[in-house]
Copies of this chain bind each other. A is one copy, B any other.
């Protein structure tokens, strides 16, 4: 525990990891993931190649750890938003908006790792994360009316809504965010309302 905390406070470690992360995003803009080697990464990050191995086992390991960090960030947004709202619909609406704001603030990172098609693991992780949230949301709505669940299978609906949400965000990034986070969140809420119309 104490050791882990140290890993997060030692400025040398933070600096090196940030250098690696920045270098990686930079290289992804320039070349395919397959072409990114530990050699190039270290050179671009202005660190020694051996130093890389002090932090990550190999490149796939690095990707996993970076994906973990991403989910941790997003998870914080969700838990922070949930607390200061009351209406169920208002919450999910606000959460999506905050999520989009966060992504827009780090658009360079998300565009290259999520949208620019190159590194599947980030999309996977986000899918798994959001699916859980959407599951609980759909189950809540399912309670109020049982018509929907008799027509469309719940798991198919979850697949559908999760993919639509993530895919739209990805397309939004790929097109250089032509709409504001608030506007896109409102559009999501409209698209989502369609479902409720069918239910009632």
Q: How far is the CA of A158 from the CA of B192 in the complex (A)?
A: 15
**How many A residues, CB 8 Å from partner?**
42
Does A56 belong to the interface (CB within 8 Å)?
Answer: no
Give per-residue flags for A95-129: 1 if the beta carbon is below 8 A from chain B beta carbons, else 0.
Answer: 00000000000000000000001111101100100
Closest to A171 in B: B159
Partner of A160, one of B156, B159, B164: B164
Partner of A34, one of B59, B127, B162: B59
Does A32 belong to the interface (CB within 8 Å)?
Answer: yes
Closest to A156 in B: B187
Main secondary structure of the interface of A (DSSP, over half): helix
How far does the Cβ of A66 sit from chain B's closest Cβ, in whole Å? 15
B167 in contact with A153 (CB, 8 Å) = no
**Most B C-beta atoms less than 10 A away, residue of A60, A120, A124:** A120
Contact residues, A156-180 vs B (CB, 8 A): 156-157, 159-164, 166-168, 170-172, 175, 179
Q: Which residues of B contact A32 (CB under 8 A)?
A: 60
Q: How far is the CA of A59 from the CA of B33 in the complex (A)?
A: 12
Does A76 belong to the interface (CB within 8 Å)?
Answer: no
Q: Which residues of B contact A5 (CB under 8 A)?
A: none
6 of the cross-chain contacts (CB-CB < 8 Å) are: A34-B34, A34-B59, A160-B167, A160-B168, A160-B191, A163-B171
